[in-house]
Chains A and B, each alone.
Chain A
Amino acid sequence: GGQQGDKSGAPAEEKPVTLVYAEVNNLETIVGKTGLKFKEEVERLSGGTVKLDIQHSGVLGAEPDVLDAMLGGGGTIDMSRISAFALTSYGGEKSKLLSIPYTFTGREHFWKFATSELAPEFLLEPHENGTGIRGLFYGEEGFRHFFGTSPLNTMADLAGMKIRVSNDPVARGMVEGIGASPTVVSYSELYSALQSGVVDAAEQPIANYYGMSFHEVAPYMILDGHTLGAIQVIITDEAWDKLSPNQQNALVEAGKIASAYNRELSEGAENEVLKKLAAEGAVVVEVKDKGPWQAACADVIKESSASNAALYQKILDMQ
């Protein structure tokens, strides 16, 4: 990263830089499009002195690989879009609060947080911790919901099922809370695992549910919206410090625009996907009252928010 690009007519102090930006999903997804919008705005606002080289579809590695490369320093990857919870295993105690189940009551709630004065504090947490990266802006890829191979009408239908979740303790705690057993299956084997019955259910945002064709093998989805897929764009301190104040400002302003764009996109895309799912025969059930779900997960909610209880309450109070 930080390679010098062609010399355009930029002011002398603004060295043109190209920043390598890693994106795990492809450019057609909500997060991919958000990245493209960000790139466009950064290049416009910086007068072309900052260019983004978006390496999408996870070709530079999965989220932990990208983070490890960025944390190692040296500029192989300067920026990336990650899910906020990925920072949990790098000491992100504040970021962790965002992935606690049933925290956000709806999109409005999340966006109130993402545009509040609390957000910059959260985004700068890794920098403050000395991890060597900083967040630029928040976005989301929709709420995550459970889906399974047999009808899911209430929480009770999930009880006793083998549910594939990522192996982080909060997600497992949630699945155990609702009376199911968490099962480790790698994402690339998930389609086959649902088809053959190794697992009975899994959870993803609606867009991924449709994008990975999971509805073909697990057509029942219950919209419990346990967590909002909060995402953020991060940059290494190393790359950040190389930029002029003008360029830094361009990134911040572009981030605001990309963030707003993401919000609009995410909501619209979700409704569209829901229509497609209905047309292709998936059975999607709404959840009227999330109270029982929240109650079932009380233990894991309490446990994961304990270290930052006051801050967590602040987020809850924003609804």
Chain B
Amino acid sequence: MIVDSMAIFILLGSFLLLVLIRFPIAYAVALSSILCLLYQGLPLTTVAQQMVKGISSFSLMAVPFFITMGYLMGSGGISEKLIALADACVGWMRGGMAMVNIVASYFFGGISGSAAADTASLGSIMIPMMVEQGYDDDFATAVTITSSCEGLLVPPSHNMVIYATTAGGLSVGSLFLAGYLPAAILAGTLMIGSYIISVKRKYPKGAKFNLLNLLKQFAVSFWALAAIIIVVVGVVGGIFTATESAAIAVIYSLIVSVFIYKGLDWKGVWKVLDQAVHTLSIVLILIATSSIFGFLLTRLNVPTLAAQTILGLTENPIILALMLNLILLVLGMIMDMAPIILIATPILLPIATSIGISPIQFGVMIILNCGIGLLTPPVGSVLFIGSAVGKVPIERVVKATLPFYVLMIVTLMLLTFIPSISLFLPSLFN
């Protein structure tokens, strides 16, 4: 194994410095990678190669499509109908829209299996919706990004497939089953947290619950609801994959907006694309350049080094369990999910099993840890997408997310120390 601590220091140090002196993050990542490459005497062509590799991921395609869909729905009258319906359902309760956001991610995020796609799709519909109803934009964004992590745990989740393969001979079916309850617990904790914040910040409360009004709204929003139903039925029913569903959803929203709700004409559609491109202009380049950074961290064996350094310190099982989470959380702050799963699993899983954590439970833990990492600075794709979609600067998003980080850590502790949350459902079916 190559250990080049100076190269690691240059990479991470220059990046943090550039971020602090208000360098655009997308370019700070690229510049610090270039410095590291120069120091190591490696060719700068790596930058070109990794940038293209970073964007060339088919599952990433869902993000631009869902963002486009969100803007079409917003301008074309679909979102409006969905707001009215959600209001009729939960408007009587303080923080009701936050609850809708959290519950929607359980189902919709589960379908897409990607926190980024979930934030792009639900975020671009729900954040404007919540703001319109009187919620703060930073709170709305924080709720959106944290709840999007539910989708990583609810099957089908391609990250779980990656983990199952890496862990060796694990049943993907059992792992899928293991995700339902932890995701529900995450949703539960987030709902309690959002309720408390909503009461504290005195977010609005609508009219009393009225069944007649609810039924009426259901009828009125038929075409809007159908958009969601088409995606869910299409993916579950095997008509298209999760990524493809995003393109179908765009076409559907276009048809409903232009021909049925008539909220948009073709000129309006062309304008909507401006908004989509504006948001994408911020997000995609970040994903592209972060790929160079991740490649270098991997090549410098940073995950392996981090794991080995911390794990030598103790043999106490409780502290070890906490350490496992800590390593994953720290790696999650700077790296993307898939490489962490691939690199850390073979190193950490034996330690986890030695203190009585089963491979299935550890899989759930690793997914949630990496999920939290997607929401943290300095590198966090979901945080960036949330910030772009919600039009809220990242530091405000991070500040508003602070209580939610705590809630997620609480959930993580529950999952770490109560194995049956993860293992109950798989044991029922075996």
Direct contact of A and B (CB under 8 A): yes
A130 to chain B, nearest CB (A): 17
Q: Check B346 for interface membership: any CB of A closer than 8 A.
A: yes
Q: A192-B113, A216-B171 known; A26 and B42 CB under 8 Å?
A: no
A-B contact count (CB 8 A): 114
Residue in contact with A189 in the complex, picked from B49, B158, B298, CB distance below 8 Å = B158
Q: Check B132 for interface membership: any CB of A closer than 8 A.
A: no
- Contact A189 B59, beta carbon cutoff 8 Å: yes
B196 to chain A, nearest CB (A): 36
Contact indicator per residue, chain A 196-212, by CB within 8 Å of chain B (1) or not (0):
11100000000000111
Distance A217 CA – B176 CA, assembled complex (angstroms) = 12
Nearest to A211 among chain B residues (CB) is B165
Nearest to B343 among chain A residues (CB) is A59
Contacts of A53 in B (CB 8 A): 1-2
- Contact A72 B49, beta carbon cutoff 8 Å: yes
B32 to chain A, nearest CB (A): 16
Q: Check B4 for interface membership: any CB of A closer than 8 A.
A: yes
- Contact A76 B238, beta carbon cutoff 8 Å: no
Q: Check A55 for interface membership: any CB of B closer than 8 A.
A: yes
Contacts of B243 in A (CB 8 A): 186, 189
Nearest to A162 among chain B residues (CB) is B238
Q: Check B156 for interface membership: any CB of A closer than 8 A.
A: yes
- Contact B43 A61, beta carbon cutoff 8 Å: no
Contacts of B237 in A (CB 8 A): 196-197
Q: A185-B241, A191-B156 known; A57 and B43 CB under 8 Å?
A: no
Residue in contact with A26 in the complex, picked from B45, B171, B238, B346, CB distance below 8 Å = B346
* Interface hits, B304-348 → A, CB 8 Å: 339, 342-343, 346
* Interface hits, B217-248 → A, CB 8 Å: 235-243
- Contact B346 A213, beta carbon cutoff 8 Å: no
Q: Check B170 for interface membership: any CB of A closer than 8 A.
A: yes
- Contact B156 A213, beta carbon cutoff 8 Å: no
Contacts of A59 in B (CB 8 A): 298, 339, 342-343
Contacts of A197 in B (CB 8 A): 237-238
- Contact A28 B168, beta carbon cutoff 8 Å: yes
Q: A76-B46, A198-B241, A213-B170 known; A191 and B299 CB under 8 Å?
A: no
- Contact B158 A212, beta carbon cutoff 8 Å: no
- Contact B171 A213, beta carbon cutoff 8 Å: yes
* Interface hits, A63-82 → B, CB 8 Å: 65, 68-69, 72-76
- Contact B49 A68, beta carbon cutoff 8 Å: yes
Residue in contact with A57 in the complex, picked from B42, B48, B161, B343, CB distance below 8 Å = B343
- Contact B53 A198, beta carbon cutoff 8 Å: no
B11 to chain A, nearest CB (A): 14
Residue of B49, B156, B169 with most partner-chain A CB within 10 A:
B49
Contacts of B393 in A (CB 8 A): none
Q: Check A60 for interface membership: any CB of B closer than 8 A.
A: yes
- Contact A73 B342, beta carbon cutoff 8 Å: no
Q: Check B27 for interface membership: any CB of A closer than 8 A.
A: no
- Contact B158 A192, beta carbon cutoff 8 Å: yes
Q: Check A27 for interface membership: any CB of B closer than 8 A.
A: yes
- Contact B2 A18, beta carbon cutoff 8 Å: yes
Q: Check A154 for interface membership: any CB of B closer than 8 A.
A: no
B61 to chain A, nearest CB (A): 10
Q: Check A195 for interface membership: any CB of B closer than 8 A.
A: yes
- Contact A69 B49, beta carbon cutoff 8 Å: yes
Distance A211 CA – B171 CA, assembled complex (angstroms) = 9
Contacts of B49 in A (CB 8 A): 65, 68-69, 72
Q: Check A8 for interface membership: any CB of B closer than 8 A.
A: no
Q: Check B192 for interface membership: any CB of A closer than 8 A.
A: no
Q: A76-B43, A198-B241 known; A26 and B172 CB under 8 Å?
A: no
Residue of B46, B170, B172, B241 with most partner-chain A CB within 10 A:
B241
Distance A18 CA – B298 CA, assembled complex (angstroms) = 16
Q: Check B203 for interface membership: any CB of A closer than 8 A.
A: no
B299 to chain A, nearest CB (A): 7
Q: A60-B298, A196-B237 known; A216 and B4 CB under 8 Å?
A: no
Contacts of B235 in A (CB 8 A): 196
Contact indicator per residue, chain B 39-71, by CB within 8 Å of chain A (1) or not (0):
010110110110001000011000000000000
28 contacts between A and B (CB under 8 A): A26-B168, A53-B1, A55-B298, A57-B343, A60-B295, A61-B295, A65-B53, A68-B53, A69-B49, A72-B43, A72-B49, A73-B43, A73-B45, A76-B42, A189-B59, A191-B156, A191-B158, A191-B172, A192-B241, A196-B236, A196-B237, A211-B168, A212-B161, A212-B164, A212-B165, A213-B170, A213-B172, A217-B173
Beyond A72-B48, A211-B169, A213-B164, 9 extra complex contacts between A and B, CB < 8 Å: A57-B166, A57-B343, A72-B45, A74-B45, A185-B241, A192-B242, A198-B239, A198-B240, A210-B169
Residue numbers of B with Cβ under 8 A of A are 1-2, 4, 40, 42-43, 45-46, 48-49, 53, 58-59, 113, 156, 158, 161-162, 164-166, 168-173, 235-243, 295, 298-299, 339, 342-343, 346
Residue numbers of A with Cβ under 8 A of B are 1, 3, 18, 20, 26-28, 53, 55, 57-61, 65, 68-69, 72-76, 185-186, 188-189, 191-193, 195-198, 210-213, 216-217
Q: Which 9 residue pairs spanning A and B have beta carbons closest together?
A: A74-B43, A197-B238, A196-B238, A192-B156, A213-B172, A57-B342, A72-B45, A186-B58, A188-B158
